[in-house]
Amino acid sequence: MPYDLVWCVTHALKAFCPECKEEAVKQLTERGYSVAEVSARLRVSSHSLFKWPKAVSPDNS
């Protein structure tokens, strides 16, 4: 996992930048990691992680 992905988290708000969300989604979709693995590494709930693909993908409507 890229070092900057871990440290892009702001400690007070636990907010992830769009680039970090995109990298996390790639770990799920392209690299084959499970939601449980990625959410544990990033210390984010799996519920939040499930919403990230929509947050980083372009709107198709």
Nearest to 54 by CA among 29, 31, 36: 29
**What mean pLDDT is predicted for residues 4-22?**
65
17 lies in some domain:
yes
Task: For residues 2-31, give the mean pLDDT.
Answer: 72
* Residue 61 forms part of a structural domain: no
How many domains are there within the chain? 1
What residue has token string 């449980």? 36
Asked whether residue 49 is domain-assigned, the answer is: yes
Does residue 46 form part of some domain? yes
Asked if the structure places residue 48 within a domain, the reply is yes
pTM over 0.85: no
What is the pLDDT, as a whole number, of residue 44? 87
What is the span of the domain harbouring residue 49? 3-56
Alpha-carbon span 58 to 61, nearest angstrom: 9
- Please check whether residue 33 lies inside any domain of the structure: yes
Portion of the chain with pLDDT greater than 70, in percent: 70
CA dist., res. 32 & res. 28, Å (int): 5
